[in-house]
Structure 1
């Protein structure tokens, strides 16, 4: 086990990454380059599909942290590239303390040198850096324009930063170009904040609204699979809210802009919530929001955005009856809306009204094959708490008869057992499933629920009687697996038939399944005392399929 002069060891890396990523990281040790040790971090480049930049913290009370710009790392995972850099650090562990001390010396030396420079020398240094770094120059130009209130230049620069065309190929910003565009959007957000900090919050409000519209128009043409652009766009939206909080724009105009944005085609990018602006809007602005939302709802009663906006406003007002009335205008067939109303009434301390809505939902969805299971569970839980087991069983029975699924059968069984009525309910349920059971089906997932229910009950004798001409291959194998000890001859017949079905298909998964079936065949022969019959059977099978070398390797691996 490696020592821990750097604050972590292999165990910590494995725990952070998981076994799979840790093992894969071992294969990237030779791909690590440019290892740079700082005071409290290490950076390096790992060559994978692309060259990925990795940064690890070094120890401390929170342990090692890792950051990588590969897709998996950008989701917040400690990836294989982080593992490779961590293991590289551990290989050089004895040198790390000296390198960290050297980094601290360099940092303090740089600070002392900068402090000692005169104003002219500092200006010359900055000009030198600006001349050689386009991004740095652009950021400083934007800060300078904001500082001198050159609003025309700030506007031009911000809108230029939001222009996706330099990153687009064939009119579309592809996945690998999205992080670069996101960095520019973040620059725009920083510039908007700088405007507000410089006493130009009113200008920042207007410019932020322009920026949000531009981003909304561009976002649909960006592959933002990792969400990096979305995070930067959210920063622009936050800058708008911050500017409004300082500038206090006309509340009615702000309300009109917010409603227009939410109901327009641009909110996918920012996902603005008008209620975040409640403090800025005040009573007048919120009232205008409500008025505009109601008008939009009347114009488009089925519109998703219109419904969402109205629901958010009514919910914020705390008027439960108004919210229930709003939800009741659009009851979905699955019963999900009924459940939502019941939950709102429960939260308001009105359990009787809540249950009444749940019961209405069950009535409205009676006979529907697809009902929100949470509604059924809600009503059953309420009845169970009240000791109303008969009603719980009735609900589960109705849902079972409508769905005819194994899950519904299990739920009916649990409720009926609790009520001491399972024997009667089971007979009726199996009779219903027996009517549905298809005849002469074949394949892997086409068998009747009847067989699944019998297997789930452990009623193997009945399952064997009902399986003939009905069960699918999956159910036959499950039946054989459960009966191998008690009915080895019947199980053997099933396994031999399934082996025959797997002679034609190829592939490693097929071969593994075939090997497991052969092991089952051998177990049945042992239980029957006919193991001598298995040896020539296996030899004949191997001779028949001998050209499949991968299969032979798999069989050898299983001792066959």
Structure 2
């Protein structure tokens, strides 16, 4: 049912996905401090930590949300957003009145502020500054920028880029990285303000200094979300804008760019000289090339040196020079061979491109670690030119070197195209059977043979191959596949996997236990032993009754 605010449970489920939605059901009682605005709702959700959530009513487009939990910081509509949304829906009848009250409070505040004279407003602001250190630091920076106090601006930027207040254990963890990034963004804004106010030369120097500080700080930050990296990109853009206005010495700028790119503090910021073409001019670009070439010749295997040379050659469109740079240090997994092939192919030199890619296959023959994109590219080229049989040979060789499910699947796909999968399958399964006999395991711990037979749609053969060698993941997949045809066998798997989950806590474990119980119930229904399952479930609930979240989850699943 859709309520007056424009979204309903289905919208929450669609935004979050089934898994997060189900988990969010267990957090409804953990929502506190709900505040209602014009199209938005904020609240705190108490889980492993206290998370701040804001969801927005997008009208016909449903609902969106933000949360400062790790999953939410990745841009996902998380279980905490779901919980807040469900609370809002449960209070749907109260929302219009709460919105009216919120609008009235905002209007009263605006009217009151407008009624204050200058001295009263200043007194109010000073009181707020005394209580709010962050606000005071932001306004101090604006004031220093406005009066061109570069020393003060420099000091404020140093404070904004310091990690101390966000560093709990010697580094800024994932949960605090966004807050640090928002603070660092204020330093970027200050540099942009200097450029806009006619102080571009000062902005250039401060930007370079800030880039160094942020580069040093970045080593202590878990920036898995990429938020601090986006701030770093903004900082580099602010430097480039300042350079376009101030026009610093081209050769000095070239030396700084190359030094930064080859230095130790460039993880956060990429100073691409090609972006500075307008600022550098011919003289500066020549200096960049000279310095970059010297550095690359000294260290041809250096990642930064190589990247810099590749960017310069690519910008000038010299494919042969770019190939020479790449070929000077070929990656052992074939990735560089592929890079060269792609560049030659884009230049219309298809025969040379294929030759380089084939050389990559030869150089990596027998190796487990090969860039899969190289093999995909070569096989696609073979199939396009009517040489699918050669693609089969390539895929067969890959399976011999890397007994993985992916290699098996790739061989099956191309062999079916050629019409030789039946014979290829027997040989391929023979390899995997020999691995299984020697207890050679796949990525999950069980033999790849079981995964391959399951992927082929042959669960009975997979069951026989599993014996006592399959891992729990494989056994669960097997049980799901055979619960209709072999319910007694599948039931044994579900009950065995459920047993250890009775001893642990956590919503994730509870959801998995419920999943196993649903499978067991299906098996009992097939066997006509529903009463036996009812007794098992009653005993389980009695023994686990203190786990309130587990009871809720079982109720949600009708167990």
- Report the TM range for the smaller structure's normalisation: 0.7 to 0.9
Q: How far off its partner does 1:202 sit?
A: 0.2
Q: Residues 239, 88 of structure 1: CA spacing in aligned structure 2 closer, same or farther, 3 A cutoff?
A: farther
Match in the other structure for 1:144: 143
Unpaired segments of 5 or more residues in structure 1? none
**d(CA) in 1 for partners of 2:223 and 2:395?**
44
Q: Residues 374, 444 of structure 1: CA spacing in aligned structure 2 closer, same or farther, 3 A cutoff?
A: closer
Q: Residues 223, 3 of structure 1: CA spacing in aligned structure 2 closer, same or farther, 3 A cutoff?
A: closer
Match in the other structure for 2:35: 35
- The question of whether the paired residues in 2 share the 8 Å contact of 1:25 and 1:83 is answered with no
**d(CA) in 2 for partners of 1:189 and 1:374?**
39
Alignment of 1:392-411 (within 5 A): 392-411=391-410
CA deviations over 1:374-423 (Å, ceiling 9, x no partner): 22221221121111233222222322333344443443343333323345
Q: Residues 497, 470 of structure 1: CA spacing in aligned structure 2 closer, same or farther, 3 A cutoff?
A: same
**d(CA) in 2 for partners of 1:462 and 1:11?**
40
1:125 maps onto 2:124 in alignment: no
Alignment of 1:6-405 (within 5 A): 6-19=5-18, 21=20, 24=24, 27-28=27-28, 31-33=31-33, 35=35, 37=37, 40-42=38-40, 44-48=42-46, 52-57=51-56, 64-79=63-78, 80-81=80-81, 82-83=84-85, 86-87=88-89, 90-95=92-97, 98-99=100-101, 102=104, 105-106=107-108, 109=111, 113=114, 121-122=117-118, 125-126=121-122, 128-134=124-130, 135-169=134-168, 171-173=170-172, 178=177, 181-224=180-223, 226-405=225-404
**d(CA) in 2 for partners of 1:547 and 1:91?**
35
Q: Residues 230, 143 of structure 1: CA spacing in aligned structure 2 closer, same or farther, 3 A cutoff?
A: same
TM-score, length of structure 1 as denominator length: 0.76
**d(CA) in 2 for partners of 1:511 and 1:31?**
24
Unpaired segments of 5 or more residues in structure 2? 504-511
**d(CA) in 2 for partners of 1:170 and 1:470?**
44
**d(CA) in 1 for partners of 2:232 and 2:292?**
25
Match in the other structure for 2:508: none
- The question of whether the paired residues in 2 share the 8 Å contact of 1:53 and 1:69 is answered with yes
- The question of whether the paired residues in 2 share the 8 Å contact of 1:437 and 1:470 is answered with no
- The question of whether the paired residues in 1 share the 8 Å contact of 2:32 and 2:45 is answered with yes
CA deviations over 1:266-310 (Å, ceiling 9, x no partner): 112334433332222223222222222222212222222222222
**d(CA) in 2 for partners of 1:481 and 1:174?**
39
What SS does the corresponding residue of 2:377 show, helix, strand or coil? helix
Q: How far off its partner does 1:199 sit?
A: 0.9
Q: How far off its partner does 1:129 sit?
A: 0.7
**d(CA) in 2 for partners of 1:155 and 1:227?**
26
- The question of whether the paired residues in 1 share the 8 Å contact of 2:439 and 2:447 is answered with no
Q: How far off its partner does 1:160 sit?
A: 3.3
Q: Residues 402, 241 of structure 1: CA spacing in aligned structure 2 closer, same or farther, 3 A cutoff?
A: same
Q: Residues 260, 390 of structure 1: CA spacing in aligned structure 2 closer, same or farther, 3 A cutoff?
A: same
- The question of whether the paired residues in 2 share the 8 Å contact of 1:195 and 1:201 is answered with yes
Q: How far off its partner does 1:257 sit?
A: 0.9
CA deviations over 1:95-150 (Å, ceiling 9, x no partner): 25644764685587468x37xx8xxx436523541343154444333333323322
What SS does the corresponding residue of 2:267 show, helix, strand or coil? helix
**d(CA) in 1 for partners of 2:430 and 2:297?**
50
Moved more, 423-432 or 513-522: 513-522
Match in the other structure for 2:420: 421
Q: How far off its partner does 1:332 sit?
A: 1.9
**d(CA) in 2 for partners of 1:484 and 1:28?**
34
Moved more, 295-304 or 421-430: 421-430
**d(CA) in 1 for partners of 2:404 and 2:416?**
18
- The question of whether the paired residues in 1 share the 8 Å contact of 2:200 and 2:243 is answered with yes
Q: Residues 438, 17 of structure 1: CA spacing in aligned structure 2 closer, same or farther, 3 A cutoff?
A: closer
Q: How large is the Cα RMSD of the aligned pairs?
A: 4.8
Q: Residues 161, 422 of structure 1: CA spacing in aligned structure 2 closer, same or farther, 3 A cutoff?
A: closer
**d(CA) in 2 for partners of 1:298 and 1:343?**
24
Q: How far off its partner does 1:33 sit?
A: 2.5
**d(CA) in 2 for partners of 1:393 and 1:213?**
52
- The question of whether the paired residues in 2 share the 8 Å contact of 1:473 and 1:498 is answered with no
- The question of whether the paired residues in 1 share the 8 Å contact of 2:30 and 2:46 is answered with no
What SS does the corresponding residue of 2:407 show, helix, strand or coil? helix
**d(CA) in 2 for partners of 1:103 and 1:93?**
15
- The question of whether the paired residues in 2 share the 8 Å contact of 1:251 and 1:284 is answered with yes
What SS does the corresponding residue of 2:369 show, helix, strand or coil? coil
Q: How far off its partner does 1:313 sit?
A: 2.0
Moved more, 416-425 or 275-284: 416-425
Q: How far off its partner does 1:247 sit?
A: 0.7
- The question of whether the paired residues in 2 share the 8 Å contact of 1:440 and 1:469 is answered with no
**d(CA) in 1 for partners of 2:479 and 2:54?**
54
**d(CA) in 1 for partners of 2:9 and 2:541?**
44
